[in-house]
Amino acid sequence: MTYPSLAAFFEQMQELGYRDGETVRLEARFAECGLEDLPTLAADLVQCGADVIAVVGAVTYWAARKVAPDLLIVFAIVLDPVSAGMTDKAEKPGGRTTGCTNFDPCEIGEQIRILNKVVQPPPSDAWH
């Protein structure tokens, strides 16, 4: 099974100077049978001696955090880590949690403004 995002992650790590098997050990786990497997997969990484766990999504974050309360967890693709209870500040998560999100609360106002433009009928004199 091929995971393009995992391949891209490994490539980027290599470009940054991290060599799997030399300077770091990169281990991947996937919940192919369902989300109920997440705690077991995270526990397996802890057993392997992981220093950092990288996760995709809030559900995966919480599964890892439960079994690894003291490890650094790096998250990606979490819509709103503050609302998810993962961190107090999205800009600078801090503590044992860090990551990135593309959620921007200011964007919502702009999206609604654009939607209004699309949904609103044009003024009656616009057709003349």
pLDDT tens digits in sequence order for the chain, 128 residues long: 467 778 888 888 899 898 889 988 888 888 887 889 999 999 999 999 999 999 988 999 999 999 999 999 999 888 888 889 998 887 777 789 988 877 666 666 766 777 666 665 556 665 55
* Sequence-separated (6 or more) residues with CB below 8 Å from residue 88: 82, 94
User: Is the CB of residue 43 less than 8 Å from the CB of residue 34?
Assistant: no
Sign of CA dihedral 75, 78, 82, 84: negative
Instruction: Note the pLDDT of residue 49.
Output: 92
pTM of the model: 0.73
Greatest Cα pair distance in the chain: 73
* Sequence-separated (6 or more) residues with CB below 8 Å from residue 6: 28
